Amino acid sequence: MCGIAGALRLDPSARIDSTLVERMAGAQTHRGPDEDGVYLDPHARAGFAFRRLSIIDVAHSHQPLSNEDETVWLEFNGEIYNFTELRGELIDRGHTFRTTGDSEVIVHAWEEWGAACFERLAGMFAIAIWDQRSGELILARDRFGKKPLCYAIAANRLLFASELKAIVATGAPRVIDPAALANYLLYQYVPAPQCIYAGWGKLPPGHFWRIRADGTPQTTPVRYWDIPEAPPDGGRAMSEEDALDQLDALLTRAVEKRLISDVPLGAFLSGGVDSSIVVGLMRRLGVQPLRTFSIGFPDRRYDERHHARAVAERFETEHHESVVTPDAMTVVDDLAWAYDEPFADSSAIPTLLLSRWTRQSVTVALTGDGGDELFGGYDRYRAANLAARLDWAPSALRGMVAGAGHAIPSGSAKSHSRRLHRLLTAIGEAPAARYRAWIHVFTPALLSSGLRPEWRKAMRIADATGAFDTIYNAAAGTPADRAMRLDMETYLPGDLLQKVDIASMAASLECRAPFLDHELAAFAVSLPPRLRMRKRLLRTWAERADDTGRPFLPRSILNRPKMGFGVPIGTWFRRELRETLTDALLAPGSLTLRLFDGTFVERLIADHQSGRAEHAHPLLALFMLEHWSRRWSPTLPV
């Protein structure tokens, strides 16, 4: 795992020098503390700067790396899990290798297959290739967006990097994009291709981009892979026994491929089905020692340590656990630095702490990320199908049901009354809008009511909601199928994978997600809803007996309800962090008061702290935005 950075001139009069790209790489030392490297095109058209976290072929595979005649140069962040097979095929085609790692495979794959090579790569990656022969820079990102790749155009140069802070180091203008800010306040992150700064962007997952250095009109990114659609027959042709056999082979291979490492590895273990399966397969595949890491909370509603402990005992792991208290909010400034866009997923706090702690023992950690999106693990997927059963009803009847929902107290986080309130109040909406209502941080109505008029106009809230509706409505299958696809295109790369990559790399830790193997993902999407929803197939597979005659996972894990990896931020804002929240948002000159009417913010805080309403997520979004703004001092649009 590494940090890449570089620059390309977009005008013949511009030049790229080593000082520029070295400054960019210096801002990403945490992503690669082991080694650095620089490459400059002989004609100053392009430059690369690289920071390395050594995982495979530690003594070699230095980057930037070239082909034999130094006409093609590469820097790449990630891991290619099928590099051994590709290497053999390329040797058979006459290519000569100087290293034994995965990086050099990409160079020769580009020579052999051009842009078609990206479809052949299995793994996680952000790639930059400079082809001196054609004067082109090629950028590419893996299928699901596990590895970040951002860019900006400034002073007739294209600047790109793993993290925005590397581009910030060049002095490129940083003016907040109101449309991106709207997305953040609605969804707690800024989705690709947007960036919080106007004129900056993020390469979307599953895309590559070819850009010439001679000033000709620039191209746009090209999609090379898309998430498969649910089959037209709903997967009915697949029997459960066949599905179980395929799942066993695909899961095992996905984990096995991610065990390749020349440094110590372990696993994050929450005690949920997904991470428990990964740990169990690591044990089955002979990982020794098998180190697992868990984090919990004094608040039992959020604490999963006893479940993780049961799995650790079942698989005889070297288990480590820690506890997060409100004092952990002292890392908020660290988060504002690490997530150099505003980011309001509360689980970023324990993820950063868990990553730091895990890194003390291992350099690589496997995770259960992606299991919920692929195998229907969230309650909201079931709710989407359930609510759709009333879509036949007249709007007046659905309006009555929604009205009844409003009469139910919204309750505190994780309460049954809150879930019922959220389900019923959205019944009257169209399916896409209904699903958005369950994933919003600010609802569009609440956001619009609180913004100052100039910001309400600039943010174009309807555009942000419309973009999500388009993805949902274009998907095939049941409402749950559509919701899962929407999440895989937006929430998974923009929130979950971004959260884990940034937090883990801030601690110089590499994380790998077996569930996001693209072959396993294609299989999951092909399943009939009866096997896919609520992880039925996964649970059935995990109930099968292992070599000892016991179920693969403890029944206590298989039968427990999903908890989710959250933080009791709502409670903290009412108690320990009550004054901290108020002081941050209502400080004279705060960004919050420049965006929102002061009376609205005061009421939002008061209603939450009194218990009249549950506004934990909107308040956290403002709290993190405030800290981000103080750390990075962005410019507001004129």
- DSSP characters over 31-64: G-BSEEEEEE-TTSSEEEEEEE---SSTTS--SS
Per-residue pLDDT at 546 exceeds 80: no
Is a pLDDT exceeding 90 seen at residue 128?
Answer: yes
Average pLDDT (429-439) is: 93
CA distance 477 to 381: 12
Beta bridge partners of 151: 160, 201
User: Which domains are assigned to the chain?
Assistant: 2-177+194-223 (3.60.20.10), 252-375+509-558 (3.40.50.620), 569-638 (no CATH)
Compute CA distances 261 → 113, 359, 456, 512, whole Å.
Answer: 27, 15, 50, 11
Pick from 196, 172, 498: nearest CA to 335: 498
Residue 618: its pLDDT value, please?
Answer: 98
The beta-strand segments (E) located in 120-221 are 123-131, 136-141, 150-154, 157-161, 200-202, 207-212
- At 259 the pLDDT is 94
Q: Which two tokens stand for residue 550?
A: 């016991």
For residue 559, what pLDDT is reported?
86
Q: In percent, how much of the chain has pLDDT > 70?
A: 96
pLDDT at 407 over 80: no
Q: Which of 2, 117, 150, 195 is labelled catalytic?
A: 2
**pLDDT tier, 414 (very low <50, low <70, confident <90, very high otherwise):** low
Contact between 477 and 230 under an 8 Å Cβ cutoff? The reply is yes
Q: What is the pLDDT of residues 619-635, one digit of tens each?
A: 999 999 999 999 999 99
Higher confidence at residue 312 or residue 214?
312
What is the C-alpha separation between 66 and 104, in angstroms, rounded?
A: 8
- Mean pLDDT check: name the lowest of 161-165, 231-235, 583-587: 231-235
Tokens of 222: 């090209």
Task: Decide if 560 contacts 287 (C-beta within 8 A).
Answer: no
Close Cβ partners of 300 (under 8 Å, ≥ 6 residues apart): none
Length of the chain: 638
What is the four-CA torsion angle of 440, 445, 451, 454, rounded to 10 degrees?
110
Q: Is the pLDDT of residue 56 over 60?
A: no
Question: Is the separation of the CB atoms in 541 and 274 below 8 Å?
Answer: no
Active site residue 2: yes
What does DSSP assign to residue 490?
A: T
**pLDDT value for 399:** 79
Q: Is the pLDDT of residue 13 over 80?
A: yes
3-state secondary structure of 222: strand
Average pLDDT rounded to a whole number, residues 568-575: 92
Residue 411's pLDDT is: 63
> What average pLDDT does the chain have?
91
Phi, psi of 324 (to 5 degrees): -105, 125
- Stated pTM of the model: 0.94
Find where tokens 């793993």 sit: 162
Q: Pull the structure tokens for residue 448.
A: 């619009």
Per-residue pLDDT at 586 exceeds 80: yes
Which pLDDT tens digit goes with each residue over 308-345?
999 999 999 999 998 887 677 788 999 999 999 999 99
Q: Report the DSSP beta bridge partners of residue 190.
A: none
SS3 content of the chain, % helix, strand, coil (to 5): 45, 15, 35
For residue 10, give the 3-state DSSP assignment. coil
Chain segment 478-500, per-residue pLDDT in tens: 999 999 999 999 999 999 999 99
Report, as an integer, the average pLDDT of 233-247: 84
Cβ distance 326 to 576 under 8 Å?
A: yes
pLDDT in the model for residue 58: 53
Question: What would the DSSP string read from start to end of 518-537?
Answer: HHHHHHHHHS-HHHHGGGHH
Per the model's pLDDT, the better-predicted residue between 34 and 157 turns out to be 157
Res 317: pLDDT: 97
Share of the chain above pLDDT 90, in %: 77
Helices and strands (H and E) in the chain: how many: 31, 17
Burial class (CB in 10 A: 0-12, 13-18, 19+), 286: exposed
Asked if residue 3 has pLDDT above 60, the reply is: yes
pLDDT band for 296, please (50, 70, 90 cuts).
Answer: confident
Residue 143: CA count within 13 A, CB half-sphere:
23
Reported confidence tier of residue 217, pLDDT bands at 50, 70, 90: low
Walk across the sheet containing 200-202 and list its strands. Answer: 35-40, 46-52, 2-9, 157-161, 150-154, 200-202
pLDDT of 53 strictly over 70: no
